[in-house]
């Protein structure tokens, strides 16, 4: 079975500081990994995805993530936090079931950005 | 813009009174999903349709049903809502069933049960 673990349910950074949100995965097959962002009372929006093409993946809003097989990690980073980045972030691993592209989500990390 | 639309955005119902949430998509995707998301939790998959083929998750209560009359529309029916069913309900689509296919989410419907 595939799973993801997000370390830190809450992360607080100052505006302009580095954002680092951690995600570790467990998978017996090469994983497909996703980061989604959820703003209050909104659906989930895809930030970026890893599908084995390149280990460093660039996404929207200045975010990127690096796939490290040796560490089974897919951490999300942004060099300089902005107030608008405050949201819930979910890491997910994809699996094919025969009829769907199923996602197994982590428990989420709430990012707070302070002045 | 192609998108996933959910109506209504907020729904209030009474304990035990049936309620239907709707989802439509202009992406022409094959797969449609319904998730339940409670406060400060990850979304929990209830069921999905691959084309007209309905697939229920093993732990989805019988109280939850779904219909997909055509490619564009999908409905979530809650036959007798309980207080524990108050949550955000998210509809999502994916182009196909391969694991590389990301899911596209609608804005959600927040259900309140009085």
pLDDT tens-digit series, residues B81-113: 999 999 999 999 999 887 778 899 999 999 999
| Mean pLDDT for all residues in chain B | 94
Q: Is B42 on the interface with A (CB under 8 A)?
A: yes
Say if CB B112 and CB B13 are below 8 A apart. yes
- Looking at residue A41, its pLDDT comes to 86
**What pLDDT score does B97 carry?**
82
Strand partners, A50: A33
Interface touch B99/A101, C-beta < 8 Å:
yes
CA of B89, closest CA in chain A: separation in Å?
A: 9
Find the mean pLDDT for residues B19-29.
96
Say yes or no to pLDDT of B73 above 80.
yes
Label residue B10 exposed, middle or buried (CB < 10 Å: 0-12, 13-18, 19+): exposed
Q: Tell me the longest C-alpha to C-alpha distance in chain A.
A: 47
Nearest CA in chain B to A88: B40
Has residue A28 got a pLDDT over 90?
no
Smallest CA–CA distance, residue A94 to chain B, in Å, is 5
| 3-state secondary structure string across chain B | CCCEEEECCEEEECCCCCEEEEEEECCCCCEEEEEEECCCCCCEEEEEEECCEEEECCCCCCCEEEECCCCCEEEEEECCCCHHHCEEEEEEEECCCCCCCCCEECCCEEEEEC
pLDDT at B11 over 80: yes
Mean pLDDT across the stretch B57-85? 96
pLDDT digits (tens, 9 = 90+) for A62-88: 999 999 999 999 999 999 999 999 999
What sign does the CA torsion over B30, B107, B22, B26 have?
A: negative
Q: What is the pLDDT of residue B2?
A: 67
Phi, psi dihedrals of residue B99, rounded to the nearest 5° = -70, -10
Q: Which letter does DSSP use for residue A70 in this model? A: T
Contact residues on chain A for B92, CB-CB shorter than 8 A: 43-44
B18/chain A closest Cα distance in angstroms: 23
Answer whether B101's CB lies under 8 Å from A101's CB: yes
Separation CA B2–CA B28 (nearest Å) = 9
Instruction: Tell me the pLDDT tens digit for each residue of A30-40.
Output: 889 999 999 99
Cα–chain center distance at A89: 6
CA pair distance A38, B90, nearest whole angstrom: 12
Tens of pLDDT, residue by residue over A38-57, are 999 899 999 999 988 789 99
Cβ within 8 Å, pair A32-B53? no
pLDDT exceeds cutoff 70 at B66: yes
């Amino acid at each position: 079975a595939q799973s993801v673990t997000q370390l830190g349910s809450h992360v607080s950074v100052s505006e302009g500081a580095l954002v680092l949100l951690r995600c570790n995965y467990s998978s017996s097959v090469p994983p497909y990994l996703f980061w989604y962002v959820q703003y209050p009372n909104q659906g989930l929006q895809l930030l970026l995805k890893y599908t084995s093409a390149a280990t460093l993946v660039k996404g929207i809003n200045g975010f990127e993530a690096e796939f490290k097989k040796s560490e089974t990690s897919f951490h999300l980073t942004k060099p300089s936090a902005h107030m608008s980045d405050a949201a819930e972030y979910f890491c997910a691993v994809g699996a094919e079931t025969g009829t769907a592209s199923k996602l197994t989500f982590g428990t989420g990390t709430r990012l707070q950005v302070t002045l | 813009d192609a998108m996933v639309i959910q109506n209504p955005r907020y729904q209030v119902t009474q304990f035990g009174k049936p309620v239907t949430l709707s989802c439509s998509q202009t992406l022409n995707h094959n797969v449609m999903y319904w998730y339940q998301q409670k406060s400060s939790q990850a979304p929990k998959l209830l069921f999905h349709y691959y084309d007209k083929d309905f697939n229920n998750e093993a732990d989805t209560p019988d109280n939850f049903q779904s219909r997909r009359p055509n490619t564009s529309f999908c409905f979530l029916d809650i036959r007798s809502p309980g207080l524990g069913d108050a949550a955000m309900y998210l509809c999502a689509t994916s182009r196909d069933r391969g694991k590389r296919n990301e899911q596209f989410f609608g804005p959600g419907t927040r259900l309140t049960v009085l």
